């Protein structure tokens, strides 16, 4: 399994820190887990939800200090208007170190982010956040547009964002040479929860 890693999407500058749990290739086990816990049959959702929560809990327990100081946790909501409580919020509620700090701070805005273009108006913030340090959590990072849009909305409402933590960074290794190279570099080291992209980066910066 590829190493924990951190990387911004090609061609899109990152204005907020993003910390990925692990790379997940299309139709690989982590990708299937993150799809199934939201959109699979009910039996599969029930089986996969605790596994997603366990991945998030293990990363936070091992590397919570790596992502910096925070006081409030919130999740990136679905821009598709998913009915009911989002499965990610349910997963956060199963993580003892996060559950008591969770607040629903974001709702979909009038202009959703496009796949490769973040927007300050993709999400609306439910309250002023002057000086609040907010840890932003998402399950899947693809282009980064929704995550960046959520972080921008929070920051415009007065929050500081020490980090955004995602459970899986989706990648198609065969999409282009850059994606293939990233996958190969991340695959060079065996996966372990004992290190992350901050405390032990898989490759030198620059």
62-115 per-position pLDDT tens digit: 998 888 899 999 999 987 667 788 999 999 999 999 999 999 999 988 777 766
Please say if the pLDDT value at position 4 is more than 60: no
Compute and round to an integer the Cα radius of gyration of the chain.
16
**Residue 21, pLDDT score:** 59
Mark 102-126 as b/e (b = at least 16 C-beta within 10 Å).
beebbeebeebbeeeebbeebbebe
Is the four-CA dihedral 184, 188, 192, 195 of positive or negative sign?
A: negative
**119-178: per-residue pLDDT in tens?**
888 899 999 999 999 999 999 988 888 999 999 999 999 999 998 999 988 888 888 898
- Of residues 22 and 38, more confidently modeled: 38
Binned at pLDDT 50, 70 and 90, residue 14 comes out as very low
Of the candidates 106, 142, 168, 118, which has an alpha carbon nearest to the alpha carbon of residue 15?
A: 118
- Measured in residues, the chain has a length of 206
Mean pLDDT of 39-62: 95
Kindly list the structural domains of the chain, giving each domain's residue range(s) and its CATH number in brackets, ordered by start.
18-187 (3.40.50)
**Residue 16, pLDDT score:** 44
Please say if the pLDDT value at position 206 is more than 60: no
CA 91 from centroid of its chain's CA atoms: 13
According to DSSP, residue 10 is labeled: T
């Amino acid at each position: 399994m590829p190493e924990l890693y951190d990387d911004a999407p090609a061609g899109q500058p990152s204005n907020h820190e993003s910390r990925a749990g692990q790379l997940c290739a299309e139709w690989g086990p982590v990708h299937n887990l993150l799809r199934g816990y939201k959109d699979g049959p009910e039996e599969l959702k029930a089986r996969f939800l605790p596994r997603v929560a366990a991945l998030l809990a293990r990363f936070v327990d091992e590397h919570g200090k790596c992502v910096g100081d925070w006081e409030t946790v919130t999740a990136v909501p679905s821009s598709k208007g998913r009915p009911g409580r989002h499965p990610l919020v349910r997963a956060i509620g199963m993580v003892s170190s996060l559950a008591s700090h969770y607040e629903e701070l974001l709702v979909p805005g009038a202009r959703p982010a496009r796949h490769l273009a973040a927007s300050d108006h993709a999400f609306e913030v439910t309250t002023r956040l002057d000086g609040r340090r907010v840890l932003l959590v998402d399950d899947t990072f693809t282009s980064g547009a929704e995550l960046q849009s959520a972080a921008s909305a929070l920051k415009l409402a007065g929050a500081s964002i020490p980090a955004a933590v995602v459970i899986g960074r989706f990648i198609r290794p065969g999409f282009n040479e850059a994606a293939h190279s990233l996958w190969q570099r991340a695959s060079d080291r065996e996966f372990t929860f004992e290190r992350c992209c901050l405390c032990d980066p898989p490759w030198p910066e620059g």
